[in-house]
């Protein structure tokens, strides 16, 4: 009976537990390890949150979903004094505030500062929409602030050690290139190619050339190879497609549903490469070409 009453109290939220006691330690003992509804105004954001940018449109979409279905997955918080601090779930927290919700379901746990940082970093690393530099910075913070080796880090985040090393090497790039990667102007493949250039000046020269001539990763790798062989960056240039091909590409891309790749040699001969992502996609393209 007492157990049933306890569950009923937890179901009503933190206020049910606070009603009969002013001992915050006792309250903490009661709520830790449980999921309860807590007031949004009692929650402070995680100071160890590695993510500093939250897409407003994505937040509005999440807020719309929460308004319709509620918060499906509770956030996680830790007890700090008389309030709570986010461990994970800041997007759900922000989206709930956006639509005027007063409370949110939360799992209460105990965590020290180091555990807070590690949980926040690892949770963010698992997300698919992080840019490469954001991942690399999270890896570096885990190494520096939690004193992990690359081997230990690879185990914690479930990635190969070589993958972790490749991300960390991106932090050796000139800050302008790192910003370009975060903003989507160049890919991680471009960045990995440019890491092999020691001079920041040469890195920036090639970066500008990538943007100006829209060089692919392969073309960038060739440019870097030539530079390391003693040639100047201007010797490798992107081949310009004939006008009749450039004018036709948008129509072909739209018809096939993919961005195709066209190469042409000096004699006017060339080839068209059509990408596909699955067997179903291949069958779809095959039927279009019949």
Q: Which two tokens stand for residue 29?
A: 């003992």
What distance in Å separates the CA atoms of residue 285 and residue 169, rounded to the nearest whole number? 39
Q: Which two tokens stand for residue 271?
A: 């080839």
What distance in Å separates the CA atoms of residue 234 and residue 237, rounded to the nearest whole number? 7
SS3 content of the chain, % helix, strand, coil (to 5): 55, 10, 30
What distance in Å separates the CA atoms of residue 66 and residue 57, rounded to the nearest whole number? 14
Task: Tell me phi and psi for residue 21, to 5 degrees.
Answer: -150, 145
- Its sign, for the CA torsion 231, 233, 239, 240, is negative
Among candidates 14, 81, 76, 13, which has minimal Cα distance to 46? 76
> Are the C-beta atoms of residues 186 and 174 closer than 8 Å to each other?
no
Strand partners, 43: 84
Catalytic residue among 90, 123, 134, 221: 90
What distance in Å separates the CA atoms of residue 211 and residue 204, rounded to the nearest whole number? 11
What distance in Å separates the CA atoms of residue 276 and residue 284, rounded to the nearest whole number? 9
* 247 is an active site residue: no
> Are the C-beta atoms of residues 99 and 66 closer than 8 Å to each other?
yes
Q: How many CB atoms lie within 10 A of CB 218?
A: 10
Q: Which two tokens stand for residue 140?
A: 């570096």
Q: Which two tokens stand for residue 273?
A: 């490469």
The residues, any chain, with a CB within 8 Å of residue 102's CB and separated by 6 or more, are 39, 40, 41
As annotated, the active-site residues are: 90
């Amino acid at each position: 009976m007492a157990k049933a009453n306890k569950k009923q109290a937890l179901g009503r939220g933190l206020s049910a537990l606070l009603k009969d006691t002013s001992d915050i330690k006792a309250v903490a003992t009661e709520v830790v390890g449980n999921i309860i509804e807590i007031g949004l105004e009692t929650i402070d954001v995680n100071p160890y949150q590695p993510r500093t940018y939250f897409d407003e449109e994505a937040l509005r979409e999440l807020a719309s979903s929460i308004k319709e279905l509620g918060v499906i997955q509770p956030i996680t918080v830790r007890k700090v004094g008389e309030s709570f601090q986010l461990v994970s779930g800041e997007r759900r927290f922000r989206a709930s505030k956006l639509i005027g919700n007063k409370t949110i379901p939360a799992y209460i746990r105990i965590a020290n500062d180091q555990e807070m940082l590690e949980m926040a970093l690892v949770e963010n690393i698992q997300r698919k929409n992080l840019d490469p530099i954001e991942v690399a910075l999270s890896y570096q913070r885990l190494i520096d602030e939690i004193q992990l080796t690359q081997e230990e880090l690879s185990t914690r985040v479930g990635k190969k050690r070589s993958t972790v090393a490749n991300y960390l090497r991106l932090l050796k790039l000139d800050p302008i290139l790192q910003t370009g990667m975060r903003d989507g102007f160049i890919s991680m493949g471009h960045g990995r190619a440019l890491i092999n250039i020691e001079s920041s000046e040469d890195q920036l020269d090639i970066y500008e050339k990538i943007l100006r001539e829209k060089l692919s990763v392969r073309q960038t790798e060739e440019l870097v190879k030539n530079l390391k062989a003693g040639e100047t960056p201007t010797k490798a240039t992107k081949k310009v497609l004939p006008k009749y091909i450039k004018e036709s590409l948008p129509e072909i891309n739209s018809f096939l549903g993919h961005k195709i790749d066209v190469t042409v040699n000096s004699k006017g001969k060339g080839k068209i490469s059509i990408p596909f992502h699955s067997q179903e996609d291949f069958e779809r393209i095959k039927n279009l070409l019949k």
